[in-house]
Amino acid sequence: MISLNQSSMLGCGQTKALLRLRRRSLEAAPRAELVVRCSGVARRGSVAMENASESNGAAAAAAAASVVDTKSAVGGGVQDVYGEDRATEEQHVTPWAVSVASGYSLLRDPHHNKGLAFSEKERDAHYLRGLLPPAVVNQDLQEKKLMHSLRQYKVPLQRYMALMDLQERNERLFYKLLVDNVEELLPVVYTPTVGEACQKYGAIFRRPQGLFISLKEKGKILEVLRNWPEKRIQVIVVTDGERILGLGDLGCQGMGIPVGKLSLYTALGGLRPSACLPITIDVGTNNEQLLKDEFYIGLRQRRATGQEYLELLDEFMAAVKQNYGEKVLIQFEDFANHNAFELLERYSRSHLVFNDDIQGTASVVLAGVVAALKLVGGTLAEHTFLFLGAGEAGTGIAELIALEMSKQTKAPLEESRKKIWLVDSKGLIVDSRKESLQHFKKPWAHEHEPVKNLLDAVKAIKPTVLIGSSGVGRTFTQEVVEAMASFNEKPLILALSNPTSQSECTAEQAYTWSKGRAIFASGSPFDPVEYEGKVFVPGQANNAYIFPGFGLGLVMCGAIRVHDDMLLAASEALAQQVTQEHYDKGLIYPPFTNIRKISAHIAAKVAAKAYELGLASHLPRPENLVEFAESCMYSPLYRSYR
């Protein structure tokens, strides 16, 4: 028999096929999980047991031992992950033990708990009698009940907390809710509510949901990684909390962002929850309010910078590679731009790194713009772009649009860049400012006289596309939108800043001030708007469309590096999912309801590009990459336990 440990070394499609085969051959016998304990911390080993009943416990243990990874050495029945079996007598080792999750501990294990959905047979086999009330209900009914009770909460943060509790209690049910009700729940686990959750994270903190790596852990980051109970990590989302959405420095409380992003990796992209690791690097915070807050959960010091900061990051990146290998995807999220560009550059040749704010946002916005061409006409190169905000999102998007323009027109990149203008807090970026500009702004310093504010820049540049990426709310004023509408039949206006409070304008403002002519999308969702008897449905221009499918594509082909052409491929795949029906509603993105299908197409295009570029390591290349992506996706449906 092949162990689950062995099977998980296979491609995920093969693993699924194997699991199906096993399930059939064992006649869906209920499955118990081995729990490996170390100093009181429950560790899950992906090991199947033939039978967990007391009467044949010895046989079960023997069977379990026979199915564990071949790497396990001197007995123990557990893979020798950290070389303890090989340790000499002088070396310290971890006291591993093996036990079976059943009874009360099974109910308390979020990965395996099914609540009232445990069948009569499972209740007998797993010592659950009396621990549950008599009713047996199915997962659909559990979902119906939970959605009903979630809808009773009028305060979004209460919904957020209820969902986080569910994730901690019953992981599969949490993901089933998220997958089946994505449009309704996305604003709860993600922007805008996750922003409020981060602001109040200390006060609402109950149980840690990811790894906290602070300056205190300097020199022992590898050990900290080893404290995490899962070993086969495929995606890490890491933040240092310095630029959380448009809310600024939230220090250690930024943890809500990696947790939220990774729940989308699973719900929207189908990555296994156990393969996802949220991490917050705590180097302090410059947020005075948090430093004074008695409930603050992070280091109470101002941010480390320079050499001290980089040394911690270097140690972290080296430890990740050492512990999880070359192919773990590290997604940087919500770092401040003075670190974000440098970190991406620093590790892009040694690690599989992706900055969602720079690259994921670029890919999603390019897709929206390309789709919008069907509504506004012209080619990419025939449009003129103006950004409010020249940071990670703004310059990241600008660069990818310019790259795509150049590919289409065969013009040099410098020429394409001239169609794109950016405004920062000091005004239009022009050549006379070049010397004092941060390096990522320099390519956008075009010849022009100085312009101090957005309205004057709009009037001077006359853009066809206006993109907000400033993190400052209500900066697309009535005058700005009216100016856009005065020289564009259909102005394309994207207010990307999150959360809703920081959106450059609301959907209602965009439609009303443009007299119903704007094509509008925003980073955080807005409800449909009725203007002069017509209903306008605003789209959501958010990197959540891209990163789950993008990450799945990288993981499923075993990519070793991210390449710009993969971002273009993801963007193309997303734009192709916009149908005439969507265009008829004025949408430039497909609805999130179809996101798993969309993610499969994105993953397929990304993987295809990786194979083409020689950056994929899982060989041979599957013939049908869309089908392969779908076959890799995690299903939140309950499994039967033998």
Ligand X SMILES: NC(=O)C1=CN([C@@H]2O[C@H](COP(=O)(O)OP(=O)(O)OC[C@H]3O[C@@H](n4cnc5c(N)ncnc54)[C@H](OP(=O)(O)O)[C@@H]3O)[C@@H](O)[C@H]2O)C=CC1
Cα-to-chain-centroid distance, residue 192 = 15
Contacts of 174 (CB under 8 A, 6+ apart): 163, 166, 167, 263, 636
Each residue 36-55 as x (binds ligand X by CB under 6 A) or -, in order, gives --------------------
Stretch that binds ligand X, among 18-26, 40-48, 50-58, 538-546 (CB under 6 A): 538-546
Phi, psi at 237, each rounded to 5°: -110, 125
Among residues 454, 474, 473, which one has the least CA distance to residue 463?
Answer: 454
Name the residue nearer to ligand X (CB basis): 284 or 389: 389
Q: What b/e sequence results for 541-576 when a residue is b if at least 16 CB atoms lie within 10 Å of its CB, and e otherwise?
A: bbbbbbbbbbbbbbbbbbbebbbebbbbbbbbbbbb
Rounded CA separation 83/308 (Å): 31
Query: What's the min distance (Å) between Cβ of 462 and ligand CC(=O)C(=O)O?
Result: 28
423 binds ligand X (CB under 6 A): yes
Tell me how far apart the alpha carbons of residues 221 and 159 are, in angstroms, rounded to a whole number.
34
- Residue ranges of the binding site for a divalent metal cation: 333-334, 357
* Active-site annotation holds for 374: no
Residue 392 binds Mg ion (CB under 5 A):
no
End-to-end CA distance of the chain: 17
Q: Which residue has the tokens 């899950």?
A: 44
Centroid of chain to Cα 556: 16
Q: Side by side, which strands form the sheet with 211-214? A: 211-214, 276-282, 235-239, 329-332, 352-355
Query: According to CB under 6 A, which one of 274, 506, 543, 577 is a site residue for ligand CC(=O)C(=O)O?
Result: 543
Using CB under 6 A as the binding rule, whether residue 282 contacts ligand CC(=O)C(=O)O is answered as no
Binding mask 296-335 for ligand CC(=O)C(=O)O (x = CB under 6 A): --------------------------------------x-
Give the nearer residue to ligand CC(=O)C(=O)O in terms of CB position, either 361 or 488. Answer: 361
The pair phi, psi for residue 494, each rounded to 5°, is -115, 115
Determine which helix (DSSP H) or strand (DSSP E) holds 224, and give its type and residue range.
helix 221-227
Q: Give binding residues for (S)-malate as ranges.
A: 243, 498, 542
- Binding partner of residue 102 among ligand X, ligand CC(=O)C(=O)O, Mg ion, none, CB cut-off 5 to 8 Å per kind: none
Whole-Å CA distances, 599 to 274, 395, 546, 618: 19, 25, 7, 19
Q: Which of 33, 109, 217, 334 binds Mg ion (CB under 5 A)?
A: 334
Q: Which of residues 479-508 bind ligand X (CB under 6 A)?
A: 496-498, 502
Q: Which of 245, 362, 454, 606 binds ligand CC(=O)C(=O)O (CB under 6 A)?
A: 245
Could you say which residues in the range 172-201 bind ligand CC(=O)C(=O)O, by CB under 6 A? 191
Please, which of residues 179-198 interact with ligand X by CB under 6 A?
none
- Residue 242 touches which of ligand CC(=O)C(=O)O, Mg ion, ligand X, none (CB < 5 to 8 A by kind)? none
Backbone Cα Rg of the chain: 26
Residue 471: phi, psi to the nearest 5?
A: 75, 10
Applying CB under 6 A, which of residues 337, 359, 406, 514 lies at the interface with ligand X? Answer: 337
Q: Is residue 357 close enough to count as binding Mg ion by CB under 5 A?
A: yes
Rounded to whole angstroms, how far apart are CA atoms 132 and 104? 10
**Cβ distance 174 to 167 under 8 Å?**
yes
Which of these is catalytic: 127, 175, 190, 641? 190
AA letter at 235: V
Annotate each residue in 448-487 with x if it binds ligand CC(=O)C(=O)O (CB under 6 A) or - if it does not, as one string. Answer: ----------------------------------------
462 carries an active-site annotation: no
Please identify, using beta-carbon distances, which residue of 423 and 554 lies nearer to ligand X. Answer: 423
Closest alpha carbon to 363 in 340, 385, 396, 331:
396
Residue type, 430: V
Binding ligand CC(=O)C(=O)O (rule: CB under 6 A), the pick from 33, 122, 356, 630 is 356
Distance CA 360, CA 331 (A): 10
Residues that bind ligand CC(=O)C(=O)O (CB under 6 A): 191, 245, 334, 356-357, 498, 523, 542-543
- Judged by the rule CB under 6 A, the positions of this chain that interact with ligand X are 243, 245-246, 337, 357, 361, 388-394, 423-426, 469-472, 475, 496-498, 502, 523, 541-543
Catalytic residues: 190, 261
- Chain positions contacting Mg ion, by CB under 5 A: 333-334, 357
